Every structure is written in C-alpha cells, then in structure tokens.
Amino acid sequence: MSTSQDISDREEGLAFQPKFDASGLVTCVATDAASGDVLMVAHMNEEALRKTIASGEAWYFSRSRDALWRKGETSGQTQRVVEMRMDCDQDAVWIRVEQQGAACHTGRRSCFYRAVTGSNGDTRLSFVDAERLFDPTKVYRK
Amino acid sequence: MSTSQDISDREEGLAFQPKFDASGLVTCVATDAASGDVLMVAHMNEEALRKTIASGEAWYFSRSRDALWRKGETSGQTQRVVEMRMDCDQDAVWIRVEQQGAACHTGRRSCFYRAVTGSNGDTRLSFVDAERLFDPTKVYRK
C-alpha cells in the first residue's frame, strides 16, 4: 500500500521510479516534435523504457504481440526521441519525437486520423489528416 | 475474437465504436490546444466519453477513486474541448483543450513537469515548466 510519503516522493522527487501496471507497463504518448500533434499512444515495459533512454530511439512493448518492439524495425518508420518527460505519478511518459515518415501501422502520419463529432447520441467519425504515406499491405507483407 | 473484417471496420470505418479495456476504459490524452503540450493522460469510460461529447467539457473516470469525474469540479480548472480524435484501433482518444489554469492536481499546468535524462543506467528526473499555478493544499482541502 502506498503511504503519503511514497506518493510525495514519486510526485515531487527526482528519482526515476516508473509505476508499472499489473502487466508491467507504463503508457507512452508520442508527439511530433515539430507540429505538437499526437502521433500514437502505446506502452513500454521496463526494458523498452531502458532501451529508449539508452538509444534515443523509441522502443515499445506490444500487448497484442506480447513482445518488445523497436519502432520502425519492420516499416523503417523510426522515432528519434528529442525529449522524454514523466508524469506526476510516474505511470505515463511523454516523448517528443522526430518521426520518420508515418507513425501509424495504417500508413498515416498519426494514429489519430479521425475526428469525433456528434451530439444527441449520434456520434460519428470523420477523416482528417488521413492520407497514407505508405501502403501497409506492401510494408508489412512477409 | 476479432476477425480481420472487425479490425478493418474499426480502423477504416466512420462508426464510433470505442474499444474499452477489461475495466471498461479507453485512454485519453489531453493536449493544450494553444501550445501542443501534453497536459495529462487519463481514462474515460462510456459515460465519461458521452458526457464529454455532449457537453464539450472534459469528463474522466478516476481509477483510484472508482468514480466519474468532471475535470475541474473541485479545482475549477476545467477543460473546454476544441477537438476530439479517435486512434486507429479506437482504444485511445486525443482531446485538444482550452485548459483553465492548471491540469495537474499538483498545481502545475501539465502533469509532465519533469524531464527524464540519463545514460548508462543512471536515469534521473529534472524539473521543467514546474512552477505551480495554484496551491493544492488550499484547493483540495475539505
């Protein structure tokens, strides 16, 4: 159980003590260092965090593939980390990156290529900034 | 089990079909509409999403308090939503907001008030943009 001293240390201290969830992960938000746009939301385990810090390139942990993953290792669409920040309770990191090409596996620059609009229960999506920079059927084929 | 048709619909379609996790939540990233800075990472359940879309003000679901929460209901530090976007697999939303005052419960503008630096296993945090806009002991006292 966390005491208030633990919480104060984690929030106000300068020790790097990521708070991993039950699966051993923290949430990572990657934004475009140039535009400020959110490119993707993903997860890092201890090893992904360590490799990202050591290499200056983004590494993640894929929950669906249950595997460590260097961003761009298949697609070539790497992320160079310009700055990494930790949030108040140390369960989320924000990286500002220089994105090579497209961050999204669908070929778009950002995973957030649809806006949410609606009212009165009629909520819909609409494409925005949704042009593809690569063809995923070509990049990811075996 | 998801078929490739389900995945294609969710990623390429315009139907709003958030993919909630086992706790009924999606991840939400809030960025400052003016500066592009990430202000916070939090969660929304179906009701929080619905109320956010209907009201244009950010609502979240607090995992620690197990309760729906209108951002700023205690502190007055509300968030007006300028745009909401959904990510490729619909398990994360990005909102660009006009933040009233400070987003973080510690009184800072953003929860990400510490940079991560280090190499060779000596990883440390350092304060950046960490000035307090309010005193949390005054704002949150009973």
Chain A positions touching B38 (Cβ under 8 A) are 29, 31, 38, 85, 94
Average pLDDT, stretch A122-126? Answer: 95
Nearest CA of chain B to the CA of A28: how many Å? 9
Cα B81 to Cα A31, B51, B129: the distances in Å are: 19, 12, 23
Average pLDDT, chain B: 94
pLDDT band at B84 (very low <50, low <70, confident <90, very high): very high
Residues A84, A57: contact at Cβ < 8 Å?
no
The residue assigned the tokens 């960025």 is B31
**B29, B85, B116 ranked by CB distance to A29: nearest:** B29
Average pLDDT, stretch B58-75? Answer: 95
Nearest CA of chain A to the CA of B70: how many Å? 18
Whether A27 contacts chain B with CB within 8 A: yes
Q: What is the pLDDT of residue B70?
A: 97
pLDDT at A2 over 70: no
Predicted ipTM of the assembly = 0.94
Nearest CA of chain B to the CA of A48: how many Å? 13
Average pLDDT, stretch A38-56? Answer: 97
- Lowest-pLDDT range, A2-11, A27-36, A38-47, B33-42? A2-11
Rounded to whole angstroms, the Cα distance separating A37 from A112 reads: 9
Residues A26, A43: contact at Cβ < 8 Å?
yes
Interface test with A, best of B11, B21, B85 (most A CBs within 10 A): B85
**Helix/strand/coil (H, E, C) string of B45-110?**
CHHHHHHHHHHCECEEEECCCCEEEECCCCCCCCEEEEEEEECCCCCEEEEEEEECCCCCCCCECC
Chain A positions touching B16 (Cβ under 8 A) are 116, 118, 123-125
pLDDT band at B120 (very low <50, low <70, confident <90, very high): low
pLDDT digits (tens, 9 = 90+) for A3-32: 788 888 899 999 999 999 999 999 999 999
